[in-house]
Structure 1
Amino acid sequence: MPLSQLLNWRLHLLVVVLSLLSEWIGIVKIPLGPGTLLLLPLFYAFVLGVLLNPHLFAGTKRFLPESVSQAATPLILISIMPFIARFGSTIGPAIDQLISAGPALILQELGNLGTMLVALPVAVLVLKMGREAIGATYSIAREPNIAIISDKYGLKGPEGVGVMGVYVVGTMFGTLWFALMAGYLASLGWFDPRALAMACGVGSGSMVAACSGALAGAMPDLADDLLAFAGASNLLTYATGLYVSLFIALPVAEWLYRRLGGRRRAASTMGATADEDATDLTREERPETDLGKTAAVLAMACVVGWIANTINGASLIDALPGMIILYVMTLIGLVITRAAPFYLPGVAWVSLVSILMTLPFFPGSAWIVDQLAAVNFLAIVTPVLAYAGLALSRREFSMFRQTGWKLIIISLLVFTGTYVGSAVVAQILL
């Protein structure tokens, strides 16, 4: 995508306005039974972005062309990079606590099996779904999980329909569901806050951001520690999650499906669309591919986050050094991503760089941590959700309609089972 389109002033100005409005509304607490639901600024930013999406309402195209929506797509990944760096900066100062909780951080990944134990029986026995239930329930259905299903079954089959259905629902609502779950469970007091933070690491970057943000909003006194545990968990998930899904979760899903009496049913017409959508995923240009263009777009994303930070963070002057540090950390991480002899996602390298630079023995780490304190991690993730709402394409809206109410229910069960299962394992180990 041309640089001029990525730097479209309409897109970034709109995101600034939506972010400032969302931050001004602030955190809304809604009592619900014994607990409380937390509605965060990122929730409003996403909803407002969706409502202004030109692919949803034709009237929006008058002032927001579809090209602006298309330009928002790569901005999601690029704009979340500074948040990942801010995320990692909470890990370095808390390294001693993380080491002491090491076994819980590593083994809580097995809690992902709660995904299928909750959702698969409902899919097969209650909703009478066929083999699409395997693709839908064996994982949380992020990009690596799509690759596994594509390689083993193909995306035009029922398993592909299932995984892509959950992917679409997760793209549209997963972030918000994780935030609501985390905030509500935190208010109940049933779990150690560290266990809930570790469980946040099982999701995508935006899910982790929303989940940990909700926990920090519920327990502001523990915010830095909770971010550290969530960030470390997410980092370990990159190393172990793919293999747990491939060698444990998928075989268990197949076995359980057969034991529940599941049978093959014809895939819906969504298969072709799913295949096309996954192909688009593989074609998406990674940020490290063109570092010059990424550096320019990243600078714009940092400016947007810097302005959004003024409501609940610090003034522009006070936050400037911190935002520059996050920008530099992100670029270093992307350079390493491109130069490394083995592949590790850019967000993982960015996180590792920020962890290293904030470790107690790193030169100047105390000053770095002090400057980053002026950058509110929730404020800089709010624009990410605004970009996400604006970026939803006509295909994603179409796929969402085709998934039907069954896959929506299953998707929410998948997210719930994954999060609660991981939290239970972490709680036991802690």
Structure 2
Amino acid sequence: MALSRLLNWRLHLLVVVISLLGEWIGILKIPLGPGTLLLLPLFYAFILAVLLNPHLFSGTKRFLPESVSQAATPLILISIMPFIARFGSTIGPAIDQIISAGPALVLQELGNLGTMLIALPVAVLVLKMGREAIGATYSIAREPNIAIISDKYGLKGPEGIGVMGVYVVGTMFGTLWFALMAGYLASMDLFDPRALAMACGVGSGSMVAACSGALAGAVPEMADDLLAFAGASNLLTYATGLYVSLFIALPVAEWLYRRLGGKPRVATSVGAMATGGDAEMVPTEARPEQDLGKTAVVLAVACLVGWVTNTINGASLGAALPGMIILYAMTLIGLVITRLAPFYLPSVAWVSLVSIVMTLPFFPGSEWFVAQLSAVNFLAIVTPVLAYAGLALSRREFFMFRQTGWKLIIVSLLVFTGTYVGSAIVAQVLL
């Protein structure tokens, strides 16, 4: 996408206004049964952005053209990079605590099997779903999980329909669901907050951001520690999650599906009709590290948006400026390493590693870095990410959301719940 389109002034101005409004509303706590439901600024930002999305209501196009929505798509990943850097900066100072909790961090990834243990029986026995239940429930359905299904079954088959259905639901509501679960469970005092933070790491970047942000809002006195554990967990998920999904989760899902009386796989594709014959469902945007010059400019704009948003619940523009510049530098260094590294690791992982190293106690200047970064509210800089995400939803995603139907919505929420709770239980036991 051309740089001029990514710098669409309407898009960034709208995101600033939406984010400032969300931050101004603040955190609302709603008593619900034995716990409390937390509504964060990122929740309002996402909902407001969806309501203003030109693909949802035709009348919106009069003042917000579809080009604004298209420009928002690559901004999601770029704008979340400074948050990932801020995330990593909490890991370095807490490295001793993280090492002491090492086994819990590594093995909680097995809690991902909770996706199918809860959701698959419901999908097959209650909702009478076919093999799409395998694709829908074997994982949390992020990009690497889609790649596994695509390679093994193809996205036009029932398994592909299942994984893409959960992907779309996750794109639209996954971040909010994780935030609501985390805040609610934290208020019930059933789990060690560190275990809940570790469980946040199983999701995508925006899910981790929303989940850990909710925990920090629920237990503010442990905010930095919880961010550190969630960030470390997410980093390990990048290293191990793909292999757990491929060699453990998918075979177990196949086995359990057969034991539940599921129908065998048919060789011909039965899923093309359900998607309208559209085989191009996996996002294929250019990675930020592929054009570092353009990314550097767009990243500067994203940091500017976060810097302004930070004024409501963070620090003044002057006080937060050094911290935002540090986050910008950390992010660029991570992207350069991603480009030059002889092996592939996602850019968010490299950015996180850079920020971790630069804030380790023995790294030169780490105390000053940590002090400057304390002026940047991690929740404030993730609120614009959700605003970009709400505006970026395309006509195809709205269409597929309607096509997947109520069954996949239920299954998706069970998948997210099973993943999070399962990982939290494993982490709790090991802690």
Q: Same fold (TM over 0.5)?
A: yes
Give the deviation of 1:269 after TM superposition. 2.4
Q: Which residue of 2 aligns with 1:123?
A: 123
Deviation at 1:271, TM superposition (A): 3.7
Aligned partners of 2:246, 2:64: CA distance in 1, in Å? Answer: 42
* Counterpart residue number, 2:372: 371
Distance 1:101 1:341, change over 3 A: same
Task: Determine whether 1:387 maps to 2:388.
Answer: yes
Alignment of 1:268-417 (within 5 A): 269-271=273-275, 275-278=279-282, 281=283, 283-417=284-418
Cα 1:244/1:274, change in 2 over 3 Å:
farther
Tell me what 2:176 maps to: 176
The yes-or-no answer on 1:165 pairing with 2:170 is no
1:87 aligns with: 87
Kindly state the Cα deviation for residue 267 of structure 1 after the two structures are TM-superposed: 3.0
Aligned mates of 2:19, 2:303 — CA distance in 1: 13
Amino acid at match of 1:90: T
2:117 maps to 1:113 = no
C-alpha distance in 1 between matches for 2:277 and 2:16:
33
Distance across 2 between alignment mates of 1:275 and 1:400: 16
Contact 1:164-1:274 at 8 Å conserved across structures: no
Give the C-alpha shift of residue 105 in structure 1.
Answer: 0.1
Question: For the residues of structure 2 that align with 1:275 and 1:224, how far apart are their CA atoms?
Answer: 43
**Alignment pair present for 1:7 and 2:7:** yes
Q: In the aligned structure 2, how far is the partner of 1:212 from the partner of 1:7?
A: 29
CA distance in 2, matches of 1:64, 1:291: 29
Query: What is the alpha-carbon distance in structure 1 between the residues aligned to residue 406 and residue 272 of structure 2?
Result: 14
Cα separation, partners in 2 of 1:274 and 1:229, compared to 1, 3 Å:
farther
- Find the aligned partners of 1:340 and 1:47 in 2 and give their Cα distance: 38
State the shift of 1:145 in Å. 0.2
Amino acid in structure 1 at the alignment position of 2:15? V
- Displacement, 1:275? 2.4
In structure 2, how many angstroms separate the alpha carbons of the residues matched to 1:389 and 1:383? 10
Q: Would you say the 8 A contact 1:323–1:375 is kept in 2?
A: yes
- Are the equivalent residues in 1 in contact too, given 2:272–2:278 (CA < 8 A)? no
> 1:222-301 maps to which residues of 2 (within 5 A)?
222-264=222-264, 266-267=270-271, 269-271=273-275, 275-278=279-282, 281=283, 283-301=284-302
- Asked if structure 2 preserves the Cα contact closer than 8 Å seen for 1:273 and 1:399, the reply is no
CA gap 1:358/1:273 in 2 versus in 1, 3 angstroms: farther
Contact 1:115–1:137, Cα closer than 8 Å, also in 2 = yes
**Cα contact 1:358–1:366 (8 A) shared by 2:** yes
What residue number does 1:151 align with? Answer: 151
Query: What secondary structure sits across from 1:156 in the alignment?
Result: coil
Alignment of 1:200-215 (within 5 A): 200-215=200-215
SS for the counterpart of 1:275 is coil
For residues 146 and 301 of structure 2, the distance between their equivalents in structure 1, rounded to whole angstroms, comes to 31
- Pair 1:108–1:274, CA change in 2 (3 A): farther
SS of residue matched to 2:315: coil
The separation in 2 between residues aligned to 1:47 and 1:376, in whole angstroms, is 21
Structure-2 change in CA distance of 1:74 and 1:307 (3 Å): same
The answer (yes or no) to whether the contact 1:157–1:271 under 8 Å persists in 2 is: no
The amino acid of 2:279's aligned partner reads D
**Distance in structure 2 (CA, Å) of the matches to 1:202 and 1:255:** 23
CA apart distance, 1:273: 5.6
Question: C-alpha distance in 2, partners of 1:163/1:343?
Answer: 24
Contact preservation (8 Å) 2:275, 2:400: no
Give the deviation of 1:268 after TM superposition: 6.4
The CA distance in 1 between the partners of 2:82 and 2:6, in whole Å, is 17
Quote the offset at 1:284 in angstroms.
1.0
Please name the residue that 1:34 is paired with. Answer: 34
User: What percent identity do the matched residue pairs reach?
Assistant: 87
State whether residues 45 and 385 of structure 1, in contact with CA within 8 Å, keep that contact through their aligned partners in structure 2. Answer: yes
Equivalent runs, 1:47-62 vs 2, <5 Å = 47-62=47-62
**For the Cα contact (< 8 Å) 1:16–1:308, is it kept in 2?**
yes
Point out where structure 2 has 5 or more consecutive residues left out of the alignment: none
CA contact (8 A) 1:161 1:274 kept: no
Number of aligned residue pairs: give it: 427
Counterpart in 1 of 2:63? 63
Q: 1:397 and 1:194, CA in 2 relative to 1: closer, same or farther beyond 3 A?
A: same
Letter in 2 for 1:353: V
Mapped to 2, the partners of 1:274 and 1:30 lie a distance apart of 41
SS at match of 1:36: strand
Q: Cα RMSD between the aligned structures?
A: 0.9
Give the whole-Å Cα distance in 1 for the aligned partners of 2:204 and 2:81: 13
Pair 344,151 (structure 1): closer, same or farther in 2 beyond 3 Å:
same
1:196 aligned residue: 196
Q: Conserved in 1, the CA contact under 8 Å of 2:156 and 2:272?
A: no
Query: Cα offset for 1:277?
Result: 1.4
What is the identity, as a one-letter code, of the residue corresponding to 2:104? A
Q: Residue 375 of structure 2: SS of its match in structure 1?
A: coil
Secondary structure of 1:367's aligned partner:
helix
